[in-house]
Amino acid sequence: LAPSVVRGLINLRGQIVTAIDLRRLLQVGDPQDDRRPINIVVQTRQGTFSLLVDRIGDVLEVDPACFERPPDTLEGIARELIQGTYKLQGQLLLTINIDKLFNLALLNRYRTTAKKPE
Nearest CA among 31, 36, 17, 10 for reference residue 117: 31
Residue 57 confidence (pLDDT): 86
* 30 vs 17, residue with greater confidence: 17
pLDDT at 29 over 80: no
CATH number of 6-109: 2.40.50
Q: What local confidence, expressed as pLDDT, does residue 5 receive?
A: 83
In this prediction, residue 72 carries a pLDDT of 87
- Would you state the pLDDT for residue 2? 77
Query: Where in the chain are the domains?
Result: 6-109
pTM above 0.85, yes or no: no
Task: For residue range 31-63, list pLDDT tens digits in order.
Answer: 777 888 999 999 888 789 999 998 898 888 998
Cα angle 85, 75, 65 (rounded to 5 degrees) comes to 15
110 touches 25 (CB < 8 A)? yes
pLDDT tens profile 59-115: 889 989 989 998 888 888 888 889 999 988 888 888 988 888 877 556 666 555 555
Alpha-carbon distance of 52 to 80, in angstroms, equals 19
Is residue 116 over pLDDT 70?
Answer: no
Identify the CA nearest to 20 among candidates 11, 9, 36, 35. 9
Residue 84 to residue 103: CA distance in whole angstroms: 18
